[in-house]
Amino acid sequence: MNQFGQNFRLTVWGESHGAQIGVSMDGIRAGIPLSEEDFAEDLARRRSGAPGTTPRREPDLPQIVSGLYNGYTTGAPLTVEFANTNTRSQDYANLTRHYRPSHADLVAHHKFAGFNDPRGGGHFSARLTLGLVAAGVVAKKMLPTGVSFATRLTEIGGCTDPAGFDEVLRAAAADRDSVGGVVECRVQGIPLGLGEPFFDSAESMIAHLLFAVPAVKGVEFGSGFAGARLRGSENNDCFTDVGGTTVTNHAGGINGGITNGNEIVVRAALKPTPSIGREQMTYNLTTDKVEPLEIRGRHDVCVALRGAVVVEATVAIALANFIR
């Protein structure tokens, strides 16, 4: 369903080429200073335009339509909307029956009996992550003072050297292809005690949200998959004080599903954008044949670039949801 959270609860709606994308946030305490300008920085990080990102440009100006009064949150639902302006639905005319590989078009067609809005991916579009970024901005304001986020790409297309990223992107673009990436988000200043086992562990809630982000296919905390190759004596983090400070941080700041006061470390694997310009074979319902498809439209070479702030937003939201 399109709701997430208990204490900080999000509802999202909208389609890529519909009237608007919206998000309503409930559970925000009254009295937080907020303005539409506060969203600018994170929205800019998600915006396209840099090398490797889609040429579709949207101003993405947030409109706060409820829950704000005289510059402060009121405690009532805070709703933020974004108009969809720069849509080119005709680019998608051929895709409703000639299914893009690894896209949601086919499953959406079946699940919704053909009534889904196919334009630009409809409700499955990565454009929905606009709402997450907006909610992330609010979530950060709900977290204790002193919390800071550091988010970066640790890999693009298998390259782990940031100096090589541009070349990887250029080569893929030249081939009208795309590349995946790994985003790492580190959060400092989170107090010990967030997380509600058994089922709502800190990892569970963060991963739940992360896997809602289009393109995310893997999530790990701390040493993650690499930690599974270590011995206990290597992977264990020695506590050095009663507050829970550890020498190493293989746990990524979470023990038993509860934050332990150390830095939160989470990584998300984002697959290469499935929409690529080069020709691909895939099933065409009109001809009932597997035929070459050329995807028009404007797409990202690497969604992980714009996805970094989305990953950061989800982590902020999941953590804010634990605050009561």
Q: Shortest approach of its own copies to residue 313 CB, angstroms? A: 13
Binding residues for its own copies, total number by CB under 8 A = 139
Does residue 12 touch its own copies according to CB under 8 A?
A: yes
Cis peptide before 322 (omega within 30 of 0): no
Main-chain dihedrals φ then ψ at residue 95, nearest 5 degrees: -95, -10
- Cβ closer to its own copies: 4 or 165? 4
Euclidean distance between CA atoms 6 and 14, whole angstroms? 22
Which of 44/243 has CB closer to its own copies? 243
**Which of 141, 227, 296, 298: binder of its own copies (CB under 8 A)?**
227
Return left, alpha or beta for 264; rule: phi > 0 is left, psi -120 to 50 is alpha, else beta.
Answer: beta
In the Cβ-directed half-sphere of 24, how many Cα atoms lie within 13 Å? 12
229 makes contact with its own copies (CB under 8 A): yes
281 binding its own copies? (CB under 8 A): yes
User: In this complex, which beta carbon is closest to its own copies, that of residue 45 or of residue 271?
Assistant: 271
CA distance 209 to 128: 13
Contact mark string toward its own copies, 160..189, x via CB under 8 A: ------------x--x-xxxxxx-------
Task: Candidates 87, 94, 96, 280: give the one binding its own copies (CB under 8 A).
Answer: 280
Q: Is 203 in the site for its own copies (CB under 8 A)?
A: yes
Q: Distance between CA atoms of 204 and 193, rounded to whole angstroms?
A: 15
Q: How far is the CB of 74 from its own copies (least distance, A)?
A: 5
Half-sphere exposure of 8 (CA within 13 A, CB side): 26
For its own copies, the closer CB: 18 or 43: 18
CB under 8 A: which stretch of 38-46, 47-55, 138-146, 266-274 binds its own copies?
266-274
Q: How far apart are CA 241 and CA 138, in angstroms?
A: 33
Of the candidates 243, 223, 253, the one whose C-alpha atom is nearest the C-alpha of residue 319 is 253
Q: Which stretch binds its own copies (CB under 8 A): 42-50, 88-96, 138-146, 206-214?
A: 206-214
Residue 45: both structure tokens together: 């990080």
Which residue is listed with tokens 């709900």? 142
Q: Is 99 in the site for its own copies (CB under 8 A)?
A: yes
Q: What are phi and psi of 79, to 5 degrees?
A: -115, 130
**SS3 category, 184:** strand
37 binds its own copies, rule: CB under 8 A: no
Binder of its own copies out of 44, 61, 93, 230 (CB under 8 A): 230
Residue 319 CA, distance from chain mean position: 15
Q: Does 106 help bind its own copies (rule: CB under 8 A)?
A: yes
Q: Which residue of 11, 53, 54, 151 would you call a contact of its own copies, by CB under 8 A?
A: 11
The least distance separating its own copies from the CB of residue 45, rounded to whole angstroms, comes to 20
* DSSP secondary structure code for residue 271 in this structure: P
Instruction: Write out the binding residues for its own copies, residues 241-260 only, by CB under 8 A.
Output: 241-242, 244, 246, 250-252, 255-260
Quote the CA–CA distance of 118 and 72 in Å, as a whole number. 38
Figure out which of the listed residues 40, 45, 87, 196 binds its own copies, where binding follows CB under 8 A: 196
Site string (112-151) toward its own copies, x via CB under 8 A: xxxxxx----xxx---x-----------------------
Pairwise CA distance, residues 53 & 273, whole Å? 11
22 binds its own copies (CB under 8 A): yes
DSSP 84: -
